[in-house]
Amino acid sequence: MGNNNNHNFPDWILRRVEAGKARVYPHGHFNVQPKRTLRAKLDAIHDIEELEGLANRRRVTGLDLPKWTQSEIEQIKERLWILRNG
């Protein structure tokens, strides 16, 4: 992780990067997929740490992103239940 020393990433993100399970993009790059629904994003998540990163994206990124709607929160909770219970 030598080239990202200036970032204060949580340990779980650093572990995923080191394990090759997270994508790292240069500053200013945005891999925007506007047609991807929240459901599609949630279905692509296969572990709780990654789900927590999405669910807490405002804190993780430090950006002022829109808050989740109640419907979105319910979808996130549903995915969490699936990940915990198979």
Kindly tell me the burial class for residue 67, based on how many C-beta atoms sit within 10 Å of its own C-beta (0-12, 13-18, 19 or more).
Answer: exposed
Gap between the Cα atoms of 44 and 34, Å rounded: 15
- For residues 32-53, average pLDDT: 87
User: What is the chain's mean pLDDT, rounded?
Assistant: 83
pLDDT > 70 in the chain, percent: 78
Of residues 35 and 85, the one with the higher pLDDT is: 85
- Full-model pTM: 0.63
Interacting residues of 21 by C-beta distance below 8 A, sequence separation 6+: none
Look at residue 72 and tell me whether its pLDDT is greater than 90: yes
Gap between the Cα atoms of 43 and 57, Å rounded: 17
- For residues 48-77, average pLDDT: 93
Q: Given this model, what pLDDT does residue 20 score?
A: 83
Give the end-to-end CA distance of the chain in Å, rounded to a whole number: 32
